Chain A
Amino acid sequence: MSELRRQFEERLGQLGVPVVLPAELEAMLTGKVFVSEHAVCKPWAARATCADPREADVTVTGCDALVAETGSVALLSAPVETRLSTLMAPLNVVVGGERQLVADMELVFEQFAGRLRPGAAAACLTFVTGPSRTTDIEKTLIFGVHGPKKLVFVFAEDGG
């Protein structure tokens, strides 16, 4: 396992994000399942039962980069929609490839410089670091206040 992957998985662990094997995912795909158009999600395309991420119980999505320093998943808003699909459902499964790993946020900016250039920018770039959470009531940590209560990560088998 590469050092970047080791660090990334360690960070996910600290954020309460399980890293599961593709085979283990099957059991999680219950209720209304939305699967995004990312190529890495193809293996689960047949499991989709819902076309609108707003109504899904589970969303399976790809991503654009993985950040080892913080355990973050970077998402561009296009060409594949990632805003709703990583925000609305109680359970969000992100599929990423080891080849997408970079050390830090700055390297994501370098990699996607073309998508951040004024006049040609993607509408939105988001770094997702763990599930939705709050500590507003007596500093008690509660997950899923607006976004996903649970985030699960899967390494694509072909390396992404």
Chain B
Amino acid sequence: MMPMPVLEEKRRAALARALGQTLQKRAQAVAEMPEWEAMRQRAHDIRAGAMDRLFEHLDAFERAAAANGIRVHHAATAEDACQCVIQIARRLGVTRAVKSKSMVTEEIHLNHAMEAAGIRPIETDLGEFIAQLKGDPPFHLTAPVVHLTRDEVGKVLAVKLGVPFTNDPAKLTMIAREVLRREFLDARLGISGANFLVAETGSIVLVTNEGNGRMVTTLPNPQGPRVNVAITGIEKVVPTLRDAAHLLRMLARSSAGARLTAYTTFIQGPRARSSGEEPSGPDEVHVVLVDNGRRGMLRDARLREALFCIRCGACSNICPVYHRAGGHAYQSVYNGPIGAVWSAALWDTEQAAALPFASSLCGACADVCPVKIDIHHAMLWQRNLATLRGRVPAWQRWAWRLWRMGMERAALYRAGSRLARVLLPQVVLNRLARPWTSKRDLPPLAAKTFHELWKEEA
């Protein structure tokens, strides 16, 4: 089993404060909607409907997008998706690209692939920008450096950008603005994710509070052909604009406690060139639809719900395990409760298979999920999958078998519990229960079991 250390006390407290603040804003935004439960159900139903006929919706999206001049690419694997982007960059002849925050690009390790191909990806979401400078993977689905203090951010910028040290968040933000504004004005390739794809209109929906998502998809560079590539999972499609509107509300309220994200953009194609030239916007828009294991999730009735996820991060914000261990402890791009489910579903590795066990199954995640994913129940199912796939060591399976055989015979169970009382003094019990007693005391066995007391009472 993977080790999962606890964050040091100071960082734990800071993380708890930050996550708590976001949760509190969410609670206020939810309290404002008396019909929140019905809204969650509607969101769930929209996503369920989208997944029930996923490939029909994807076909519809592709037809509509193509009619608007968007080029749609299909990537079965992470490798395919990265190659697709690299080819577009090479054809365009660029050696750098501006990127807005996208978990799918993290999933496929696009930055690494681009760098290997000699193209520099520049993260432009402030959090991602800091994480990229520091060389860290994102700590949280929506807040990549939520674990860093202002001093730590200040040090990263001072060291990596050669600017004088400051720990003032406003000044740090303005430093990033300046550096990244130059990149935006210079870039000809913009890479974004997509929060939703709308089947009926072929729209790519992108939300951004900072505005970098708009920069990356508008490409303010006055010169040269400009290209926007949106990379996203096949599960992001929703049937209609109305569906998207509902989910956008749920997303904004759940992730940040806002009524709507600052910028919500429906991208429908390259800038118009026939009916009066549009002065801004990309000359080409591409969408890369990434599978990378999602079809497998779709086929498993108990994991399909995980595809409903709209990446709001609320489950991480409330998760008591995430609070103590932090995002990096999961050692996976997708962390927190839904991240554990996704990781184990996408990657057949020992590390990923261990993640669904890293939960007390408290279910707080499912209660805050805006699309009502039974996150902890999915983890329960994945634990069984781990057994079926041989990820549970043979000695453990044998131990469980012996345990079951004992439990099948009441007499054996009772004899065992009597024997334990005679043969196992507390000191021995404490030694046997080492992982438990290293941190807590083990209460003593009762002098008499209920079974014995019951007989006495009768």
Contacts and interface: CB of A to CB of B under 8 A. Distances in A.
Nearest to A86: B214
Contact of B262 (A123, A125, A129): A129
B339 interface: no
Interface in B196-229: 201-203, 209-212, 214-215, 217-218, 220, 222
A40 B456 CA distance: 90
A83 B260 contact: no
Contact of B126 (A72, A81, A118, A137): A137
Contact of A136 (B144, B261, B267): B144
Contacts of A127: 260, 263-265
Contacts of A132: 209-211, 262-263
B150 A137 contact: yes
Given A137-B153, A146-B215, A123 B278 contact: yes
A133 B262 contact: yes
A134 B129 CA distance: 13
Given A104-B245, A138-B169, A146 B276 contact: no
Contacts of A81: 278-280
A70 interface: yes
A54 B220 contact: yes
B268 A123 contact: yes
Interface string A138-160: 11101011111000000000000
Most chain A beta carbons < 10 A, residue from B172, B218, B256: B218
A77 B281 contact: yes
Given A84-B218, A121-B269, A134 B126 contact: yes
A119 B68 contact: yes
A54 B144 CA distance: 29
B22 A146 contact: no
Interface stretch (B34-42, B175-183, B320-328, B351-359): B175-183
B279 A84 contact: yes
A124 B69 CA distance: 12
A140 B153 CA distance: 13
A62 interface: no
B421 interface: no
The SS class assigned to the A binding surface is loop
Given A84-B220, A137-B150, A139-B22, A118 B63 contact: yes
Contacts of A122: 268, 272
Given A77-B271, A145-B173, A69 B242 contact: no
A142 B210 CA distance: 9
B268 A106 contact: no
A50 interface: no
B218 A136 contact: no
A137 B172 contact: yes
B248 interface: yes
Interface in B128-151: 130, 143-146, 148-150
B336 interface: no
B185 interface: yes
Interface string B157-196: 0000000000001101110110011001100000000000
A125 B173 contact: no
A125 B266 contact: yes
A104 B153 CA distance: 39
Given A72-B260, A109-B241, A121-B202, A77 B210 contact: no
Contacts of B260: 70, 72, 105, 127, 129
Given A87-B214, A125-B265, A146-B184, 10 more contacts: A109-B241, A109-B245, A123-B272, A124-B266, A124-B281, A126-B263, A126-B265, A137-B126, A137-B173, A144-B174
Interface of A: 11, 52, 54, 69-72, 77-79, 81, 83-84, 87-88, 104-106, 109, 116-119, 121-140, 142, 144-148
7 contacts: A77-B281, A87-B214, A105-B245, A109-B245, A121-B268, A137-B172, A139-B18
